[in-house]
């Protein structure tokens, strides 16, 4: 983070850091009690940030908060249903009151259940929108207010999905929300630039988290083989790998990066239809 006063002379360039250290900064991570959120929390704490995390599940949130404290950093957990706008706003206020500042926000709350759109109820699609899209809008507005008042700049990272960038049959509303996150990221990168708040999105695919494990516990060897054939790196990503990318994006090492959507997918989006042939490392186009 740059600690730049937005009123500074335009000819000056901000101080540039050559490491990812975040000492003295406060990071807020939504749905930080498991999976990608937990990976982000731990990566930011390892770089020296104090951590606020919100999660609907108290046991998970308290477990991760304890892990942060064991690294010597402060942790503040607020049990929150991020789909509840009032609760999400209240949570950000509590965090600002507790730490007196917010420098980093990771909008990670989200998820979806598979259902064909023609069979999806309005209640279900509204729940998807509230959890994936509205939670980000609420937390962004509330946390950016704190960042702007602090005049120290900041960084917001929105955890979208590879589904934001491609079709997702069975996940149409989830994918539309994630595409909305990517669009919102670009607009905020412009609207918040005068306050030295940078805004990014990540588009992960196949990160090994508790959320995905039940699916792969039931998957056949053929399912796993076909997954590993379309991912050029031939494996899933880890929570720690996601966290370290967020740590880089929010750090002074990335001080001139703003408004990007970065696929975190082992090269899957680059392959665009190329996969490995079954039982082989040979690349083929549009193989079944
Ligand atoms: N795992 C992947 O491969 C992958 C791929 C693309 C996008 N994502 C996105 O990453 C984010 C995290 O996914 P994950 O795989 O780590 O999930 P996960 O299921 O492993 O963990 C989700 C966490 O969110 C919490 N949570 C659930 N509902 C909540 C709510 N209403 N309010 C607050 N917290 C809530 C849960 O208690 C849990 O701690 C989601 O936005 C998801 O869409 C994940």
Domains of the chain: 26-214+237-270 (3.40.50.720)
Give dist(CA 27, CA 77) in Å, integer. Answer: 12
Residue 151, phi-psi category: left (phi > 0), alpha (psi -120 to 50), beta (remainder): left
The 10s digit of each residue's pLDDT in 19-52 is 999 999 999 999 999 999 999 999 999 999 999 9
Q: Is 55 in the pocket of ligand 1 (CB under 6 A)?
A: yes
The pTM (predicted TM-score) of the whole model is 0.96
- Residues 6+ positions from 114 with CB-CB distance below 8 Å: 170, 171
Specify the pLDDT at position 17: 87
- Nearest CA to 111 among 138, 143, 81? 81
User: Where are the alpha helices (H) located in the chain, listed in sequence order?
Assistant: 35-46, 58-69, 85-99, 122-129, 135-150, 172-191, 213-218, 221-230, 239-250, 268-271
Q: Is 81 in the pocket of ligand 1 (CB under 6 A)?
A: yes
Which atom of ligand 1 is least distant from the CA of 163? 6
Specify the pLDDT at position 215: 86
Among protein residues, the one with the nearest Cα to ligand 1's atom 14 is: 35
Q: Is 83 in the pocket of ligand 1 (CB under 6 A)?
A: yes
Mapped onto helix, strand or coil, the DSSP state of residue 154 is: strand
Among protein residues, the one with the nearest Cα to ligand 1's atom 24 is: 31
Taking 70 as the pLDDT cut, the residues of the chain under it are: 1-14, 287-288
Q: Is 61 in the pocket of ligand 1 (CB under 6 A)?
A: no
């Amino acid at each position: 983070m740059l600690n730049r006063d937005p009123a500074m002379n335009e000819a000056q360039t901000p101080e540039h850091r050559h490491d990812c250290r975040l000492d003295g900064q406060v990071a807020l991570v939504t749905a930080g009690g498991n999976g990608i959120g937990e990976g982000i929390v731990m990566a930011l704490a390892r770089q020296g940030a104090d951590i606020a995390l919100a999660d609907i599940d108290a046991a998970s949130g308290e477990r991760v908060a304890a892990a942060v404290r064991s690294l010597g950093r402060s942790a503040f957990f607020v049990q929150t249903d991020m789909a509840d706008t009032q609760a999400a706003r209240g949570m950000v206020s509590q965090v600002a009151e507790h730490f007196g500042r917010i420098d980093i926000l990771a909008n990670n709350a989200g998820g979806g259940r598979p259902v064909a759109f023609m069979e999806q109820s309005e209640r279900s699609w509204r729940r998807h929108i509230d959890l994936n899209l509205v939670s980000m809008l609420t937390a962004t507005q509330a946390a950016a207010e704190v960042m702007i008042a602090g005049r120290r700049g900041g960084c917001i990272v929105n955890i979208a999905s590879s589904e934001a960038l491609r079709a997702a049959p069975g996940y149409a509303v989830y994918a539309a929300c994630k595409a909305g996150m990517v669009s919102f990221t670009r607009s905020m990168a412009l609207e918040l630039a005068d306050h030295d708040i940078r805004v990014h999105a990540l588009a992960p695919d196949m990160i090994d988290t508790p959320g995905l494990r039940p699916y792969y516990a039931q998957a056949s060897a053929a399912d796993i083989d076909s997954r590993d054939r379309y991912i050029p790196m031939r494996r899933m990503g880890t929570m720690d790998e996601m966290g370290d990318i967020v740590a880089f994006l929010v750090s002074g090492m990335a001080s001139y990066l703003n408004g990007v959507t970065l696929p975190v997918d082992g090269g899957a989006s680059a392959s665009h239809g190329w996969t490995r042939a079954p039982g082989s490392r040979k690349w083929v186009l549009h193989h079944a």
